[in-house]
Amino acid sequence: MRIIQLLPTLLPGDAVSNNVLAIADVLTQHGFENDIVTCNDIKRNPQITEKVQQIMPGEYLRQTDADVFIYHMAIGSELTDFVIDADVKKKIMIYHNITPAEFYKNLPLLSADCINGRKQLQKLAEHIDFGIGVSEYNKSELDALSYKKTASIPLIMDLEDYTNTKPSRTVMDKYTDDGFVNILFVGRIAPNKKHEDVIASFHVYNRYINPKSRLFLVGSYNSTENYHYTLKKLVDSNGIKNVIFTGHIPFNEIIAYYRVSHLFLCESEHEGFCVPLVEAMLFDLPILAYHSTAIPYTLGNSGIMFTEKNHKLIAELINAVLTNETLKNEIVAGQRRRLEDFSREKIGRQFMELFEEIIK
Amino acid sequence: MDFNVILNAGCMTSAELMRAVTEGSAARKYDDKELKAIALSAARLRERYEEVPDPLTDAFKMMNSSATVECWWRFPAGGSLITRLRILRYKIIRKFIFFYFKQVFDMQNCYNAAVLAAMSESIQKIHFLEHQNIALKKRLDILERNQ
């Protein structure tokens, strides 16, 4: 049995790509021959395959003798038509979610990608044998589109990568033990993640409760430069202090920012899973998050969620958590228990059980 | 929707935490006007994003608008009798020496056009290299992680 995972671009470090690599690993461990095909270029991945595919995806796919396709859907791409037309025994889709276009109304190119993606998602419904959502939220979207069979399996994450990587010395030396409270949000600078709300809540906390505080906004603004620039203008025009946009940074610096921070604040209004929440759990950062989309699913019974964006009350909530050691410890303990549900072995096992059931 | 918290902890219920938050908020002297202003600023972001200024492009636009040197420039109208006589004198002298300085102006404008073209190519190249740099940085990060 040969399995091919398909996705538009493989970029290790990206949540979808990491999931693809982890699944490839799990499949190989269980003796399944598998490969990865990307749209823009066929990358040789030294971790899992020795073959170099130098031909266009269409030709490769026409020549292949694959039995199963696993299509990773996070954005529209030309691979959708290949998947639809392909003659393979089983077509599985792993749905990571597509941001609704209304979040990108001020970024027309990205908005068009989202609209296109949603149309393709609808089109795929009758061609996919099994749709897997990486959260219950994603699964519910597939159910609403009448996918034949659906299930929910979280992303397979290699959490050891985080603990084995040495944090950046530069960041650690700069921000450790200087008497400042560091609040962190990690995520692409993208409109659905509502960085402006995180900034507003932080500003109230910094201005009225604790001037010795910082906000780290860790994430790339590649292709959302206008949104990033507007956020910076928001900060400058309102005299908001101590907001640091890191931009795209290496992995060891991301680890360092987690290690020097004291709290994770998320006010995102659309997430398919939200890997940074799991990362925050791993680094024992108490999580405060806005109750939306897949966030309750990922947090489970851990962390603290709030239901409205009242910046004054969010600032007070931050203070309540950081000044109450017992509460903070209980939140972190709850998060550690939740983290066990995302262990690679556990999710890998869940995935293989489902996969073997699908291909029977 | 009202502001509520969802907490699962043994030491405190959601209601108790909510009480602590509202009591804390009531005890602090918040400037409601300022809070409203910041909330409004954040909300306004949804309507429109600013174009990222590119100093190079802006400088190029300024160059472009003043690149052509006019050899037959306009004199200001009106003024006192002496000013108008002075302007008349300039106009007469200009007519006589126009045949000479037109070549100088043409050479200058030729040069300016060439500089503009070179600047335009350079700016395009810079933008291309900037994008390439970003892509290379990402690639380097991946390679470093895979080491």
Residues B60 and B103 in one domain: yes
Nearest to A320 among B21, B141, B146 (CB): B21
The upper half-sphere exposure of residue A201, i.e. CA atoms within 13 Å in the direction of its Cβ, equals 29
pLDDT band at B9 (very low <50, low <70, confident <90, very high): confident
Highest mean pLDDT among A17-26, A107-116, A323-332: A323-332
CA distance B94 to B8: 88
CB contact under 8 A, A317 and B7: no
B65/B121 same-domain check:
yes
Give B-chain residues touching A311 at CB under 8 angstroms.
35, 38-39
Instruction: Tell me the count of A-B CB pairs closer than 8 A.
Output: 135
Equal fold, A2-158+343-359 vs A160-342: yes
B38 with A203: Cβ contact below 8 A? yes
Give yes or no: residues B29 and B97 share one domain.
no
At residue A348, does pLDDT exceed 50?
Answer: yes
Mean pLDDT, residues A331-342? 96
pLDDT at A12 over 80: no
Give the mean pLDDT of A172-199.
95
Taking the CA atoms of chain A, what radius of gyration do you get in angstroms?
21
What was the pLDDT predicted at A194?
A: 96
Query: Which residues in chain B have their CB less than 8 angstroms from residue A305's CB?
Result: 5-6
Mean pLDDT of A31-46: 67
- Structural domain total, chain B: 2
Q: Residue A106 above 50 pLDDT?
A: yes
Write down the pLDDT at residue A52: 37
Give the ipTM: 0.82
- pLDDT (mean) for A288-298: 96
Q: Are residues B3 and B21 in the same domain?
A: yes
| Residue A228: other Cβ atoms inside 10 A | 21
Q: Do A11 and B142 touch (CB under 8 A)?
A: yes
Domain boundaries, chain A: 2-158+343-359, 160-342
Q: Which residue shows structure tokens 């006192």?
A: B80
Predicted pLDDT of residue A311: 95
Confidence at residue A60, expressed as pLDDT on a 0 to 100 scale: 59
The mean pLDDT of chain A is 90
Report d(CA A288, CA A263) in Å as an integer. Answer: 8
User: How does pLDDT run across B31-79, given as a tens digit for each residue?
Assistant: 999 999 999 999 888 787 877 777 787 888 888 888 888 878 788 888 8
Rg of chain B over all Cα atoms, to the nearest angstrom: 33
Domain end residue (candidates: B10, B33, B49) = B49
B136 touching A (Cβ < 8 Å): no
**Residues A128/A247, Cβ–Cβ less than 8 Å:** no
Phi, psi for residue B52 in degrees, rounded to 5: -70, 120
Instruction: Tell me which CATH code domain A2-158+343-359 carries.
Output: 3.40.50.2000
Average pLDDT estimate for A139-165: 94
Q: Is B72 on the interface with A (CB under 8 A)?
A: no
pLDDT at res. A8: 84
Does the beta carbon of B35 lie under 8 angstroms from any beta carbon of chain A? yes
pLDDT in tens, A42-79: 444 444 344 334 444 555 555 566 789 999 999 888 78
Q: What is the 3-state secondary structure (H, E, C) of chain B?
A: CCCCEEECECCECHHHHHHHHHHHHHHCCCCHHHHHHHHHHHHHCCCCCCCCCCHHHHHHHHHHHCCCCCCCCCCCCCCCHHHHHHHHHHHHHHHHHHHHHHHHHHHHHHHHHHHHHHHHHHHHHHHHHHHHHHHHHHHHHHHHHHC
Q: For A18, which residue in chain B has the nearest alpha carbon? A: B142
The answer to whether residue A258 scores a pLDDT higher than 90 is yes
Nearest CB among B21, B28, B53 relative to A208 is that of B28
Same domain, B34 and B59: no
Q: How distant is the Cα of B28 from the closest Cα of chain A, in angstroms?
A: 8
A360 pLDDT band (50/70/90 cuts)?
confident
Helix (H), strand (E) at residue A229 = helix A225-237
Residues B99 and B38 reside in one and the same domain: no
Spatial separation of the C-alpha atoms in residues A229 and A75, rounded to whole Å: 24
Answer yes or no: do B72 and B105 share one domain: yes
| Chain A environment of B22 (Cβ under 8 Å) | 313, 316
Mean pLDDT of A289-318: 96
pLDDT of residue A54: 40
Alpha carbon distance A296, A140 (integer Å) = 14
What lies within 8 Å, CB to CB, of A136 at 6+ separation is A152, A294, A297
Side-chain-side CA neighbours of A41 within 13 Å: the count stands at: 6
A327 → closest Cβ in B2, B11, B28: B11
Give the per-residue pLDDT at A170: 95
Enumerate the residues of chain A whose CB falls inside 8 A of the CB of residue B6. Answer: 291, 296, 304-307
User: Which of A12, A200, A226 is closest, CB to CB, to B145?
Assistant: A12
Distances (CA, A) of A300 to A132, A193, A289, A295: 19, 20, 12, 8
Residues of B in contact with A111 (CB under 8 A): none
Quote the pLDDT of residue A57: 53
Whether residue B69 lies within 8 A of chain A, CB to CB, comes out as no
Q: Which domain holds residue B5?
A: 1-49
Are A43 and B142 spatial neighbours (Cβ–Cβ below 8 Å)? Answer: no
Give pLDDT, residue B137: 78
Q: What is the mean pLDDT of residues A247-267?
A: 95
Q: Are residues B105 and B80 in the same domain?
A: yes
Query: Based on the domain organization, do B44 and B63 belong to the same domain?
Result: no
Q: Report the percent of chain A where pLDDT is more than 70.
A: 92
A56 or A336, which is more confident:
A336
Predicted local distance difference test score (pLDDT) of residue B147: 61
- Please report which helix (H) or strand (E) contains residue A183, including its range: strand A181-186
Mean per-residue pLDDT for A177-204?
96
pLDDT at B10 over 90: no
Question: Which of B4, B8, B49 faces A230 most closely, judged by CB atoms?
Answer: B49
Instruction: Answer whether residue A188 shows pLDDT above 70.
Output: yes
8 Å CB contact of A317 and B37:
no
Q: Given the structure tokens 């409601």, which residue do they identify?
A: B32
Quickly tell me which residue has 């892509």 as its tokens. Answer: B135
Asked if residue B84 and residue B40 are part of one domain, the reply reads no
Last residue of a domain, one of B49, B65, B80: B49
* Cα distance between residue A215 and residue A213, in whole Å: 7
When pLDDT is cut at 50, 70 and 90, the band that residue A39 belongs to is: low
pLDDT band at A161 (very low <50, low <70, confident <90, very high): confident
What is the CATH number assigned to the segment(s) A160-342?
3.40.50.2000
Give the integer Cα–Cα distance in Å for B57 and A192.
30
Q: Are A351 and A153 in contact (CB under 8 A)?
A: yes
The top-scoring range by mean pLDDT among A220-224, A283-287, B62-66, B128-132 is: A283-287
Closest partner residue to A316 among B21, B35, B38, by Cβ? B21
Residue B20 near chain A (CB below 8 Å): yes
**Substitution target from B2, B18, B40, B52 for chain A, most A beta carbons within 10 A:** B52
Q: Which residues contact A81 (CB under 8 A, 6 or more apart)?
A: none
One domain for residues B83 and B37:
no
- Angstroms from B55 CA to nearest CA on chain A: 14
Same domain, B62 and B122: yes
